[in-house]
Structures are given as structure tokens and as C-alpha cells.
Amino acid sequence: MHGIIFFYIQKFADVATAGTTTWLKLRETVSTSASRYLPNETYPDGEAVGLLQSLAERTGEPLPTLVERFGEFLAPHLVKVAGRHIDPAWRTLDLIENTESIIHTMIRATNPGAEPPVLEAVRNSPNELHLVYGSSRQLCVLARGIMKGVAKHFGESITIEETSCMLDGGPFCSFVVQDDSHETHSARSPLSETITFDPDSGKQQPVEAGGWQSAHPFVDRPVGELPQAIGGFPIKSLIGHGGMGRVYLGRDGRLERQVAIKLMHPSRAADAVSRQRFLRESKATAAINHPHVVTIYQVGEHDGLPYIVMQHVDGPNLADYRIAAGETVATAEAVRIGRELAEGLTAAHEHGLVHRDIKPDNILLEGPSRRVRIIDFGLARELESAETRLTMDGAVVGTPAYMSPERIGVEEVDAKSDLFGLGVILYELLAGRLPFEGKSMVSILAAIARGTPPALAELVPEAPQALTDLVMQLLAHDKADRPATAAEVARKLAVIEQTLG
């Protein structure tokens, strides 16, 4: 275990025992070595647990209670240590969501032999996050305490529900963390670092350059002064931010047009893996010239941080549009959106690219005609590429509800995975619900892994049979049973569209 934990156990011991137990006496209970537990070294896990056990005996507390209390004590200190890797705009759920990348940057990347816990987070709504914790140490109680301590640090209130636990025989621990501090709730996922859009007003929520007002669509909080220019483009406002970075509205004076500029966050840019993924997104998208794929204009660096200058799309993403439209979208409109999405995917696949994260947040609807524009090729992967995966082995990357079964398992991901995501989107637009549902990330993944969703024809009997059959084929568990190509799907949807008038 990393020595910094021992360093803070020492500080915690003074608090927990009100100074009645000296650190040297406590240390003698677990180690016969002359170890000083230096913050920059590593030590056996058992010694840390032994120290906490000795503290529990001295305070008369059950060990789990004391370990959770230690987590609460530890949290603000860890926030301070990791300060330069934390976006000032983040709050509790933001920090929990990005903890895995911080751990990778601070520990794994600098100490390949280290084995910190694996944390996988999915932000299902602005106020709810699902977290999977995996570690041979099985210190989920400590993780719970740290989350509580982070909330206290930010002056927020959270509710934590543990839906599965290693201590009860599960393969990992699963938490549902809910922010009770803010009343804004939405079905929209904030995972996409794109333009924020208010479906009620139909307007983007800007921040004037040099101001301190937040552009976060859910929580009003300071984000700091905006840069005056990036890559020679004057900055007008902040229009979105997420785990990877921030998106600014800029001005292209030469062509008299607005542009969107995504600037990578310093904590992510410090990690070579994240930096490579960010730059790969821009190169992958720039290679595609298609009316249903967002256009990339320029790639560069600003103060050492990678940035992408792209087309500014005036309109909501599909998630916000669906919320504004109500439970379902008209059949003809759903078919049109599906066809245009399939055409954009066809262009990407013909360039040898698989998007790998097709979801409503990554589909913008441009202008009055609501033309589809696919964005965020951040997980895009070259077909038939032998490159090393840009994620940890076994890590779940993406949004679970739209993941194909092969994304969850070990089967190779190819263009058929994008077709599955298209099927989920069409199902949701037509039926007003997801084909695979669950109360947690784990239950959603389990539902996808089991296979067949409820028959769409029974949920939407008025829809053409050709359409419901196609959507169910797109959702086939075995990718060999899905349509052969996105181009084939586009052609079939075009025929259906004609019959709908």
C-alpha cells in the first residue's frame, strides 16, 4: 500500500485517540521492522489494516466503522494532494467520476508496479453516479468514507447505496451515489463534453470571456476566467465541459463563422494515454467529410494543452431533444434521424473507423431541419488495427445502456457495435424507454449480456413491421445476426421513410 496512506493514518491516530496513543506504540503493534512509513514508499497492505485494527481496539469502535471514519478524514487531504489534477469546477460527483483517471496519472503512470483500486464510474444523470470498485484489498468501506469526506469537503450532501459487495461474495462492489444538494434532475447524461443546451429555452448557456459565471447546465459554480484566444481564435464563451476538458465558443474572423473549440484539461493532458485518445479523436474525425459528421477545422496546442477546432453546431443533442419532445418521437422523425445516423456511420466505417460510443449525447441536431451530426469520436478505433487498447484491460469505457454485448465481453469490437448503438437509439425514440434497463450500471450490463429486449412491435404496435423488425435485428445479441453494414441499414430506413410519406 502506498506510504501516503500510512502518513495519514498517523495523523488520524492523533484525532481518533485524542492523543492518548503515540504513533510509535501503534506502529509497534504491526511491524517489527524499523520502517518509518515514508509517504513516497510502499508497504504491505496487512500493516495498514493492522494499524487501523489497533486503533479500533483502542477506541472501542467496530473496525468497519473506524475505517469509514478514516476515509472521511482522509478525503480532504487527498483532494489537496491531487489539487493540480482537479478541475476547479468539479464538485463531489465530478471528482468521483474522474478519480480513476487521476489515480492512473498520479500512481500507475509513475509507478507501474503499483496496484491501486480500479474505479469505473458512469454518470447516469447530473445528480446520480454509479461506481464499480474492484480491489484485492476489499476496502469498500474506506471508499464509502472517502466519498462522504469529499462531499463534506465541498459542502454537499450525498446518499450512497451499495448494490453489491465483495465482502458478501460479489466479484466487485457497486455503489449508487446520489447528490442531494441540488434540485436539478434530468435524464440527460453529462458525460459528453459538447455544447450544453437548455431544452426549455432552446438556447445555449454561454459565459462571457473573463467572467466567473458557470456554464455547467446543472450546477452554478465558478469555472475561472476564460482564455482570450485559443489557436488564434478569439474566445466568446464557455459552452460546455466534462471529464476530458472544456468546449469554448470561438470566432473565425477570416471566414466570419463561429467555431467550437475543445481544450483538453491539464490533468488529462498529463496522461499520455488520454492525450493520445484526444488527438486520435481529432484525426479520426478530420478524415471524414460528410454532412452527418461534425467537421474538424484545426488541431493544435494552447499553452501545452491539445485542442480541436470544430464546426459549431447550432442545436441540441439528441438526448435533450428527446426530453423536450416528450416520451417518444414521431415515427417518421425517428426513422429520419436513424437514417441520417446510419449514413454518417457508413462514412466513418468506409474510412476504417468504428465510433464505439454511439449514444444520444454524441448526436447533435443541427438547425431547423434537425440534421444529424455525429460528434466525439474519442473512443473511435481503427478497423483491423493492432494498436494497444487505450484503456485498462477489462475496463468498461462508454455509456452502459448503449453498449453492445461484445463491448462488455471479450469479443472483438467492430462496426457491428455501432449498429447495436443505433438500434438502442431507435428503440428508445420509438418506445420511450431503453431496450435494456436496470437500477444500476451493473444491472444494465447484466441485462445486455442476457440478450433479448422486450419486442418493439408489442410496445409500438402502430409502427411498421419492417421498422420494428429492423430495430430488433440491430439489437441482436450475436453480432453475426445484425445487418451486414451501416449502408444496408440506411437503405432499409430510406425505404421505410418513403412509405411513411
Catalytic residues: 357
Pairing label, strands 128-134, 118-125: antiparallel
Contact 193, 242 (CB under 8 A): yes
Could you tell me the three cell numbers for 392? 485498462
For residues 467 and 495, what is the distance between their CA atoms, to the nearest angstrom? 10
For residues 91 and 154, what is the distance between their CA atoms, to the nearest angstrom? 6
Contact 313, 321 (CB under 8 A): no
The conformation of residue 104, written as its DSSP 8-state character, comes to I
| 3-class SS string, 373-425 | EECCCCCCEECCCCCCCCCCCCCCCCCHHHCCHHHHCCCCCCHHHHHHHHHHH
Answer positive or negative: Cα dihedral of 395, 398, 401, 407: negative
First-to-last alpha carbon distance for the chain, in angstroms, is: 65
Could you tell me the three cell numbers for 143? 471508499
DSSP 19-68: T-S-HHHHHHTT--S-----TTSB--HHHHHHHHHHHHHHHT--HHHHHH
Answer positive or negative: Cα dihedral of 163, 168, 171, 172: positive
Residue 299 corresponds to which amino acid?
V
